[in-house]
Amino acid sequence: MKRDYYEILGVEKGASSQAIKSAYRKLAVKYHPDRNPGDKEAEDKFKEAAEAYAILGDQEKRAHYDRFGHSGLSGGGFGGFDPDIFADFSDVLGDFFGFGDIFGSSRRRRNHAQRGADLRYDLGIEFEEAVFGTKAKIKIPRAQACGTCSGSGADPEYGTSVCETCAGHGQVRFQQGFFTISRTCSTCQGTGQKIKKPCSECRGVGRIQKDKVLELRIPAGVETGSRLRVSGEGESGFNGGPPGDLYVVISVAEHSYFKRQQDNIYIEIPVSITQAALGAEISIRTLEGEEKLKIPEGTQTGATFRFRGRGVVSINGMGRGDQIVTVVVATPKNLTQRQRELLEELSKELPSAHKNEETEGFFDKVKDIFG
C-alpha cells in the first residue's frame, strides 16, 4: 500500500505550494544518490519524494489526489511515476547541485544569448582634476564580436549546419538508472550548430581582441575609490547577447599643500609670534586662488578658521564643502643679538605661560608648616 504523499514530504494537507516545494528540497538534498552512492534505501526515498512532489507540486494533480487519493491517479492522464519527471525539477534541484544541464534546464544552454563580461579600468588622476572634474582618454583592450563572421565563428561563405549529434538541440539525453539525463553536446558545445569552415579572422571563436579608445567625463568631487560605470563598454556578448559594462575605478594623487576629508579641504599656515600676539591680515591659498584671512589678537596654535563654500563640490549634488585653516605659531630660530635682547625684555614684562600653580601651592604649604 502506497504511503500518503503529504506524509512522505512531511507536510500538512493544507500546506502551501512553497511549503511543499521547500519540504521536497530538503528531502532531495538528504537522499540524493550522488550524496548516498550505493545506498538503495536512500535511492528509494529519493524516488518516493520525487513521486510525491510530482503530484503535490502540480495544482491539478494535487486537487485530483486530494479528492480521490491514489486510486484517482491511475487514469485520466495522472498515471504513476515517470522517470522523466526529473527533467522538470531543475528549478528545485538545480540550485542545490548545479545540475541544470543534467535535468534538462534550457536556461544554461550555450546556444542562448549570453551577456558579455564586465571590465575594470584603474584610472589615476591629479588632485585638482578630482576637485574640478576633467576629461580623460583611456584605451580598453577587450573581446568584441568578429566583424567578418558577425560573431558566428563560421566563414560567411560556408555558414553553419545543424549538428548531427544532437539534431540542433545542443544537448543529448540518455538513461542512467531511473534518471533521464541531459548533457551538453560535445560535438557542437551546446550551440546546436556545426561550423563547416572556421572564420579566418577569429579562427572560429566568434570574437577578437581589440583596443577601443574612450573619452570619459570625470565629474567634480570624485575621490579615491570612486567607481564610474560606463554602460555597454565591456566585452561583447555571445550569440547576440548584450555587452557587459565598463567600471572605471578612480585613484587620486595626494596634494603637497591641500588635504581632503570628504568634501572639506584642510590646510595649516604658520604665523609669527608677533602676528599671533598683535593680530594681522594674511593671504592664504584656496582651491580657486588667494583669499585674505584676518588673524585676531592673541591667536594660539591650533586655532581654526573656516572659509565656507571653498571646499569640494559634492558628487551627490549636496552642495559644497568648506576650507578649514589651522594656525601654527612659528617659533623663530637663529636669532640675531638684537632680536634676543628684545625677546628677553619682553619675557620680563609678560607673565610666565608655564606657571605651575599646583607646585607653587605645595611649596607655600611647606613654608607655612616650617615657618
Residues 210 and 174 in one domain: no
Residues 220 and 91 in one domain: no
Domain boundary pick from 186, 220, 254: 254
pLDDT at residue 104, as a whole number: 42
Q: Are the CB atoms for 311 and 264 separated by under 8 Å? A: yes
Residues 49 and 130 in one domain: no
Residues 244 and 270 in one domain: no
Sign of CA dihedral 73, 77, 82, 88: negative
Residues 216 and 131 in one domain: yes
Residues 297 and 344 in one domain: yes
Closest to 246 in 3D by CA, of 138, 145, 151, 147: 138
pLDDT at residue 364, as a whole number: 60
**Is the whole-model pTM more than 0.75?**
no
Q: Which domain holds residue 45?
A: 5-108
- For residue 223, what is the domain's CATH number? 2.60.260.20
Q: What is the DSSP string of 18-35?
A: HHHHHHHHHHHHHH-TTT
Residues 9 and 127 in one domain: no
Domain count within the chain: 4
Longest dimension (CA), the chain: 122
Residues 100 and 119 in one domain: no
- For residue 164, what is the domain's CATH number? 2.10.230.10
Residues 22 and 129 in one domain: no
pLDDT at residue 250, as a whole number: 92
Question: Where do the DSSP E strands lie in the chain?
Answer: 119-125, 134-145, 160-162, 171-176, 179-184, 193-195, 207-218, 227-230, 246-252, 259-261, 264-271, 280-286, 289-295, 304-307, 323-329
pLDDT at residue 108, as a whole number: 42
Residues 37 and 147 in one domain: no
pLDDT at residue 38, as a whole number: 77
pLDDT at residue 212, as a whole number: 86
Q: How far apart are CA 342 and CA 277, in angstroms?
A: 15
pLDDT at residue 70, as a whole number: 76
Q: How far apart are CA 207 and CA 308, in angstroms?
A: 54
Residues 318 and 328 in one domain: yes
- For residue 37, what is the domain's CATH number? 1.10.287.110
Residues 284 and 347 in one domain: yes
Q: How far apart are CA 148 and CA 371, in angstroms?
A: 110
pLDDT at residue 114, as a whole number: 76
- Distance, CA of 107 to chain centre: 24
User: What is the chain's pLDDT, residue by residue, as a tens digit (371 residues)?
Assistant: 678 999 999 999 888 988 998 899 889 888 887 778 778 888 888 888 888 898 898 888 888 888 878 776 655 444 444 444 444 444 444 444 444 444 444 444 444 667 888 889 999 999 999 989 999 999 888 777 787 787 777 778 777 778 877 877 778 876 555 556 677 787 776 777 777 788 877 877 777 778 889 999 999 999 999 999 999 888 887 766 788 899 999 999 999 889 998 899 999 999 888 888 888 888 989 888 888 999 898 888 899 999 998 888 888 777 889 999 999 988 888 888 887 888 878 777 777 655 555 545 555 654 555 44
Residue found under cell 570619459:
216
